[in-house]
Amino acid sequence: MQSFGLHYLPITFSLLVIITFIISYAMSAAFGDVSILFPYISDLGTLAPESCVFGQLLNLCSFLGCLCIYCWYGHQIERLENMGSPRSHFIFARVTLAFGLTAGLGLSVVGNFQETSVLTVHLIGALMTFGFGTLYTIMVSHTSRAHLDSPKWLRTLRVSLAVTCSVAFVAMFLFAGLTRKGINLPHKWEPGEKVITLIFRKIMYISACMLHAPWPNPCRISVTILCYLNDSCVLTLWFLVITSIYWVAYFDFFT
């Protein structure tokens, strides 16, 4: 696994996701289609021509994300075989893979079905990405704790961040629902209208980026810095979490 340089794959994926949102934001803001400060990520890909670029790039991100998830699965299976693990651990690994691939597919659905055109499908894609992405991080954290015998500090870190992301996920959707209830919100809005939702997005960003901190690799640090440059793009969170867990998996493998 080491000979193919798979550790460059999540770096490419993370950078592509961030670049996708930066390009979409720049186009949307230039055409005056969204608010300059903290726009919703879905609003960036709602109107043409930015929606075309947004959808195409998210398709590429979805493919790379699924590839990263499958690489983690292959690493996990290899570790389980070397440890002589029971059959139930392999079944759990396959379920984890299915959840992760569902989250990756959801990213493509979100990018290709705009909220103003096919809202139901767009929301289903968002639930696939956010919901199954959160479950995926929880399951990988459990695998690290119960199946792979990772170091105690590493298990604690993963579990803590998974819990933080889960709480922020629930809170974000709760306040987003309350914000939209009975209100027809435009693409261009005042920051005070959605401030609570954005606070929980920020919490999720911090918890995701913290996964990079214990390993001072310049490439990982650069990905973390770029994440903060595009603070309002909540989709970056989930796949930074997946990418970060993939990095930690390589930490286990090399040690």
Give the CA count within 13 Å in the CB-facing half-sphere of 57.
21
pLDDT at site 71: 86
pLDDT at site 146: 85
pLDDT at site 89: 92
pLDDT at site 155: 80
C-alpha 213/C-alpha 180 separation (Å) is 36
pTM of the model: 0.72
- In three-state form (DSSP H/G/I as H, E/B as E, the rest C), the secondary structure along the chain is CHHHCCCHHHHHHHHHHHHHHHHHHHHHHHCCCCCCCCCCHHHHCCCCCHHHHHHHHHHHHHHHHHHHHHHHHHHHHHHHHHHCCCHHHHHHHHHHHHHHHHHHHHHHHHHHCCCCCCHHHHHHHHHHHHHHHHHHHHHHHHHHHHHCCCCHHHHHHHHHHHHHHHHHHHHHHHHHHHHHCCCCCCCCCCHHHCHHHHHHHHHHHHHHHHCCCCCCCHHHHHHHHHHHHCCCCHHHHHHHHHHHHHHHHHHHHHC
Tokens 């261009």 appear where?
188
pLDDT values of the chain reduced to their tens digit, one per residue, 255 residues = 455 567 777 778 878 888 888 888 888 878 777 766 666 677 777 788 888 888 899 999 899 889 888 988 988 898 899 888 899 999 999 999 999 899 889 989 988 888 778 888 988 988 888 888 888 888 888 888 888 877 787 788 778 778 877 877 777 677 666 655 554 554 444 544 444 454 555 455 445 444 433 333 444 434 333 333 333 345 445 555 555 554 554 455 444
Q: Do residues 237 and 157 touch, judged by C-beta distance below 8 A?
A: no
pLDDT at site 176: 64
pLDDT at site 231: 38
Residue-wise pLDDT tens digits, 168-209: 777 767 766 665 555 455 444 454 444 445 455 545 544 544
Q: Do residues 122 and 132 touch, judged by C-beta distance below 8 A?
A: no
pLDDT at site 6: 74
How many C-beta atoms lie closer than 10 Å to residue 44's C-beta? 28
pLDDT at site 87: 92
